[in-house]
Structure 1
Amino acid sequence: MNRLIRAGLMFGNLFHVHSPALVERYNRALLHLTGKRTELTDFYIDISGYSPEVGDELGDPLYLNHKGVNRQFILLSVEQRTAPLLNTKFSTSKTILQDFIGQNEAALFALTAKDAVAGELVNSVYDVSTAARLFDIRRITVDADTTGGTVKDAAKLAEMVDNFRESESGWYDDVLIAQMIDLAGKTGDVVRNPVSLKAMSFDQRNFWTAHFGGLYVFQDVAHPAVIAPAGKDGLDDLPLKYVFDASQRNNIAQFFQLNGLTQTILEARGIKSAAILRQKMDFILIDAVADQGVDLTGLTRADLRRLAREHSDILPPEFHTLGQLVNWAENGGAFPNVDSSSPVYFYTLRAADTPDAPLVNMLLAELAPKDIRQLFICHKDLFYATYAGWPDAKRAYVADFLEREYKVDKAGVRDALFGHEPALEVPPLPRKGKKPPPVPQRIAPVGPWGKAKRR
């Protein structure tokens, strides 16, 4: 993992806590939330205030996320908004924290100038000892205040000010005036500079959770289901009728199709589909030859073609099928027969333009794990776990590729792969004046892959 850390691909963009003032504020918040303190004077925190170093010191990687639910957070600066979320247990947590910081940026900027803001992502569930409890999590509410209770005191002071103004005897109420003066010393002038945080709640109906081996829960769709790639053990009590594991490829494909959650890369608008498929071929090639003693440093396009020729006997079927699709898109070659039973099927899909696109791309990354770029972008926890088991040659290649091709323009790469543009892409023409090949008529009504087969 040191290679990833040095390249800024792991623990990157964390917020540095190094000044005595910040450390003391962090400790006040930590004591307020957990009853613990850290003796460290220099450490890094993620968007939620979690620090790997503090976790090691306390011997508890979930010190801000007890039992993996109701995540607590510590905000020292609005700069934490751009930091990653480590030890993710629910896919919605980072988005909720980003939205909360964004919607309250001015107030948080003022509050964190003097104190830490501590809070919790609250729901009605305090443990998920059974998978069925996940379905009791319907709404997440953000509860936050400074460790000194500034927001609460400011609300109380604002109420006192209103009472003072509305009461005819306000000027004669010495007790009320004394209380207002005392609170104003803590909160400042709330009349001219109101101090408040917006009350924010978020629905949590479609989400991924790390619990029970990793589950994708889709409740708010026309045809609900749970996708459990790791297996369905311990999931007998779920309130949804359909639960599919990774072996039920056809059922998952049908679920995507019925809910309109995916589209084929070749039919997606505004992207260079053939180039994306060719890059997926490269990743599959590297995966196949990584343990063959091949030098994978500084590979050119010619080097990749040479490796494909020399090791054609060990290349998996998905490599050859993707090659046929690229040939069809660029040169009008024969269109391959692809359905959900094919190993390449999920490599040819991406999320459609829906609110759940990030969740769907995360699931597709797990169903097509040899696409290391999508795996890193969409499912970092699984990427890190998988990376640890790769041959060193592949680890070196992947780290170098991501540093060169992704890190330099993260937003551009994400937009190129997953963005949705109004303009329809026209595949490159092999010869001037020649029209691009149409989708074969026999399968055009249901898309280029045909209908998902029924069991």
Structure 2
Amino acid sequence: MKRLIEKGLMFGNLIHVASPALVERYNRALVHLTGKRTELTDFHIDISGYSPEIGDELGDMLYLNQGGCNRQFILLTTAQKTAPLLNAKFSMSRSILRQFIEENEAQLFALTARDAVAGELLNSVYSVADPARLLDIRKIRIEADTTAGTVRDAEKLGQMVDRFMEEDDAWFDDVLIADMIGLAKKTGDVTRNPVRLKQMEFVQNNYWTAHFGGVYLFRGGPDAVAIARDKAALAGLAGAHVFGFDARNQIARFLEQNKLVEPIVKARGIDAGAILRQKMDFIVVDVAQDRGIDLTGATRRDIRALARAHADALPPEFHGLQALVRWAEDEGPWPRIDSDHPAYFYSLRAADHPDADLVNMLLAELAPKDVRQLFICHKELFYSLYAGWSDTKKSYVADFLEREYLADKVGARAALFGHDAPLAEPAPPPPPPAPKRDLLDRVGPWGSVRRERAAQGHDRPRPKGPWGG
């Protein structure tokens, strides 16, 4: 993993906490949430405030996520919104945290200038020891405040101000005035600078969870569908159709019937041939690893040479994608690749819908030899598989991702998963110009007005002014 860390492919974009003031604020929030403290003087945190160094120090890698259910968080700066989420147990957690920070950025910026903000992602479930609890997770809301309770006090002070303004005898209520002054010393002037965080609630019908070996839950249709790596772990899950990863036909039918995927070769706005050829290269790299071939400094030309030299060992995935490339480049017939074919899920990507990231994550797990998509869409699985690769494959993949992905993350994602905007409807033709009229008809004096009023039946005697009618 050291190679990945050095290249910024693991623990990248974490926030470095080194100043004594920030460390003390973090400790106040940590005690507030967990009752624990850190003795470290500097460490790194993710979007939720989780630190792998502190996890190692405490011997608890889930110290902000006990039970892996309701994630707690510590915000020291709004810059955390760009950091990754480590040890994710649910696919929606990072997007919810980022949206919360962005929606409340001005307020959080002011609050974190003096204190840490601590909070929790809450749902109606406090434990997922039973698979049935997965179906009970539907809405997630956020509770957050500073360790000193600034938001709570500001809300209380606001209510006091309203009472003071509305009650006739409030001017003579010395206790009310004293309480207002005392709270204002802690919160500031809430009438000029209101301290209020938006109450946010997120509905989650479809999501991935790391629990039970990894489960993708889809509840957008009439029947819930769970796709699990370990189907036996969901034996007690009633109310959902459960498919194991070996049920390729059922998974393919579900994805197609619900219009969740599209063939790469038929997608608009992408270079399908280039994407498929890169997938083929990754499959060749996998074969080279099995045969102990050194891939140090290998170029695209070297990979093609390896494919020719070891054609007898190339798996069906390679040949299926090759047939698709020939069709996409008008050099061959349309290949019949159904869901039983090993290349089937390599040939798909998520269609344009709100759960595209989740579907691409599922496809990455169904087609794990595409290491680029695996890294982008399912980092937890990527790191797990990476640990078991040969050193030569580790080196090649790390160099490739540093060169081809880190250099332009946004561009790479757009090229692989982006969708063109739908074609706009043609604009209606402009109305025909009004017929030209004589200047006197248009501006008078009074002639055109009188004729138009007469045509409408409104021409009647009008009172005369001082200069006549």
TM-score norm. by structure 2 comes to 0.89
In structure 1, the residue matched to 2:43 is 43
Report if the CA contact (8 A) 1:362-1:379 is conserved.
Answer: yes
In structure 1, the residue matched to 2:393 is 394
Question: d(CA) in 1 for partners of 2:170 and 2:346?
Answer: 71
Question: d(CA) in 2 for partners of 1:293 and 1:243?
Answer: 39
Report if the CA contact (8 A) 1:15-1:46 is conserved.
Answer: yes
**Worse-matched range after superposition: 310-319 or 324-333:** 324-333
Report if the CA contact (8 A) 2:212-2:230 is conserved.
Answer: no
Question: d(CA) in 2 for partners of 1:395 and 1:305?
Answer: 19
SS in 2 for 1:275: helix
Q: Deviations over 1:164-195 (max 9, x none)?
A: 11111122111111100100000001010000
Runs of 4+ more than 4 Å apart: none
Q: What number of residue pairs does the alignment pair up?
A: 423
Q: Deviations over 1:289-342 (max 9, x none)?
A: 123232312323321221011111111011111111111111331222200000
Question: d(CA) in 1 for partners of 2:421 and 2:141?
Answer: 35
In structure 1, the residue matched to 2:173 is 173
**TM-fit CA distance, 1:423:** 7.3
Q: Deviations over 1:180-215 (max 9, x none)?
A: 010000000101000010000101210000000000
In structure 2, the residue matched to 1:68 is 68
Report if the CA contact (8 A) 1:20-1:41 is conserved.
Answer: yes
Structure 2 counterparts to residues 262-341 of structure 1, below 5 A? 262-341=261-340
SS in 1 for 2:171: helix
In structure 2, the residue matched to 1:207 is 207
Q: Does 1:132 align with 2:95?
A: no
In structure 2, the residue matched to 1:227 is 227
Question: d(CA) in 2 for partners of 1:364 and 1:271?
Answer: 18
Question: d(CA) in 1 for partners of 2:327 and 2:223?
Answer: 33
SS in 1 for 2:243: strand
Structure 2 counterparts to residues 97-176 of structure 1, below 5 A? 97-176=97-176
In structure 1, the residue matched to 2:407 is 408
Alignment identity in percent? 66
For residue 383 of structure 2, what is the amino acid of its counterpart?
Y
Question: d(CA) in 2 for partners of 1:216 and 1:382?
Answer: 14
TM-score norm. by structure 1 comes to 0.91
Question: d(CA) in 1 for partners of 2:292 and 2:283?
Answer: 16
In structure 2, the residue matched to 1:419 is 418
Report if the CA contact (8 A) 2:281-2:304 is conserved.
Answer: no
In structure 2, the residue matched to 1:427 is none
In structure 2, the residue matched to 1:364 is 363
RMSD: 1.1
**Worse-matched range after superposition: 283-292 or 402-411:** 283-292
Question: d(CA) in 2 for partners of 1:241 and 1:143?
Answer: 31
Question: d(CA) in 1 for partners of 2:381 and 2:375?
Answer: 8
Report if the CA contact (8 A) 1:29-1:147 is conserved.
Answer: yes
In structure 2, stretches of 5+ residues that fail to align are 424-469
Q: Does 1:77 align with 2:77?
A: yes
Question: d(CA) in 2 for partners of 1:419 and 1:152?
Answer: 42
Q: Deviations over 1:75-117 (max 9, x none)?
A: 0000000000000000010010001000000000000000000
Question: d(CA) in 1 for partners of 2:202 and 2:367?
Answer: 30
Report if the CA contact (8 A) 2:298-2:396 is conserved.
Answer: no
Question: d(CA) in 2 for partners of 1:12 and 1:6?
Answer: 9
SS in 2 for 1:242: strand
SS in 2 for 1:234: helix
SS in 2 for 1:40: coil
Question: d(CA) in 2 for partners of 1:175 and 1:159?
Answer: 15
SS in 2 for 1:90: coil
**TM-fit CA distance, 1:223:** 4.6
SS in 1 for 2:290: coil
For residue 127 of structure 1, what is the amino acid of its counterpart?
S
Report if the CA contact (8 A) 1:291-1:393 is conserved.
Answer: no
In structure 2, the residue matched to 1:4 is 4
In structure 1, the residue matched to 2:246 is 247
In structure 1, stretches of 5+ residues that fail to align are 425-455
Highest Rg: 1 or 2?
A: 2
Question: d(CA) in 1 for partners of 2:266 and 2:222?
Answer: 23
Structure 2 counterparts to residues 5-24 of structure 1, below 5 A? 5-24=5-24
**Worse-matched range after superposition: 76-85 or 325-334:** 325-334
In structure 1, the residue matched to 2:90 is 90
In structure 1, the residue matched to 2:354 is 355
